[in-house]
Copies of this chain bind each other. A is one copy, B any other.
Amino acid sequence: MTDILPDPVTDPHHELISSTRVEGTPVRNLAGKKLGIIHSVMIHKVSGRVSYALLAFDRFLGVPEFVYPIPWEKLTYDLAVGGYVVDLTREMLEAAPSLSLDAAARPSDRATDEALFGYYGATMFW
Contact = CB atoms under 8 A, between A and B. Distances in A.
Contact of A72 (B15, B48, B105, B109): B48
A103 interface: yes
B5 A104 contact: yes
Interface in A86-126: 102-106, 108-110, 113, 126
Contact of A48 (B46, B49, B105): B49
Contacts of A7: 104
A98 to B, nearest CB: 15
Contacts of A46: 15
Contacts of A8: 103-104, 106, 108
Interface residues of A, number: 44
A7 B105 CA distance: 9
Contacts of A126: 15
Interface string A28-51: 000000000001111111111111
Interface string A55-86: 00000000000000000110001000000000
Given A1-B104, A7-B104, A22 B49 contact: no
B17 A19 contact: no
Contacts of A18: 40-43, 54, 103
